[in-house]
Amino acid sequence: MRDLDVLLSRQAGVVSRRQLVGAGLAPHDVRRLLRRRELVAVAPGVYLDHTGEPSWLQTAWGGVLALWPAALSHESALQAAGLSCGPAACLHVAVDRRRSPTPPPGVRLHRLADLDAKVLWAAGPPRVRVEEAAVDVAAEANDDFAAIAVLADAVQSRRTTAFRMQQALAGRSRIPRRRFLDGVLNDIGSGTCSVLEHGYLTRVERAHGLPPAHRQVLDASPGTVYRDVVYPAFDRSVELDGLMVHATARARDRDLDRDLEVAVGGRMTVRLGWGQVFGRPCRTALHVGRWLQAGGWDGVPTRCPACANR
């Protein structure tokens, strides 16, 4: 029984019938443990060593062992890696594409090509690598902002890199949002904000009838400095903060210095990020419109189809 104790300890108290037999237990031994409630079935052929409510980790082990060989994927893989994805509606488990097992209740099955290369089999429980899982979740996200947040959080966690996620993306033959995700990963990897600038142009400015701005304007400040969005007729400029977080206090300090230099020159500046552009573009357009009106713009922000649906 020592082998069984080690196995239960390693797998958060969850074990499969296959493993019990491999540990030397006969079928009548398994029946006795179940009869005594020392083991409780949590899925077909999978057992838990107590009668209480299973934890998330125990549920995850149960799903993987029920479909073995298998691994956590999508949001479940990210959660197992320590990345918060919010409450999950189900457990995501991946198997080899050539298999079609019936998943137990509460488990969503994913059939993946080249499963072995995508999985950390030594993890407890085994899970798809962070870069692969993050790309899957971002591709299936409800909106672009949610997709961006998944990729950014994965990089910020230091559990993967933008380059690794781009490699994972390139390895997919068919995946939604490919061009968009690749652009976002370029931005995250380099610290630039071209996707953010495009989002501001299409989702905020153009979609709501704001006056056209000048972009990437060379500033007269010391050194070579380009302003993201400038409305010269109204002495207004917009800085688009494409960095998901400021890596250092010094980087944040440089940004504040840039804003101060613009203000000293007589131009007012606002700094916008991913949330304002992709999460709340209609609200942002309304505020930017009022801000431009204060500078002399005589127009009025128009409603876009998204505004009309609210």
The total of structural domains in the chain comes to 3
Q: Domain check: are 176 and 213 in the same one?
A: no
pLDDT score for 36: 94
Same domain as 301, residue 276: yes
pTM for this predicted structure: 0.75
Same domain, 246 and 175: no
**Which 3 state secondary structure label does DSSP give 132?**
helix
- Mark whether 229 and 297 lie in a shared domain: yes
Residues 139 and 66 in one domain: no
* Partners of 41 in the β-ladder: 47
User: How do residues 104-150 score in pLDDT, each as one tens digit?
Assistant: 999 999 999 999 999 999 999 999 999 999 999 999 998 888 888 88
Q: Give the pLDDT mean for 208-222.
A: 81
DSSP letter string over 181-206? Answer: HHHHHHHHHHS--HHHHHHIIIIIIG
**The one-letter amino acid at 141:** A
- The residues, ordered by sequence, that sit 6+ positions from 27 with a Cβ below 8 Å of its Cβ are 21
What average pLDDT does the segment 7-32 reach? 92
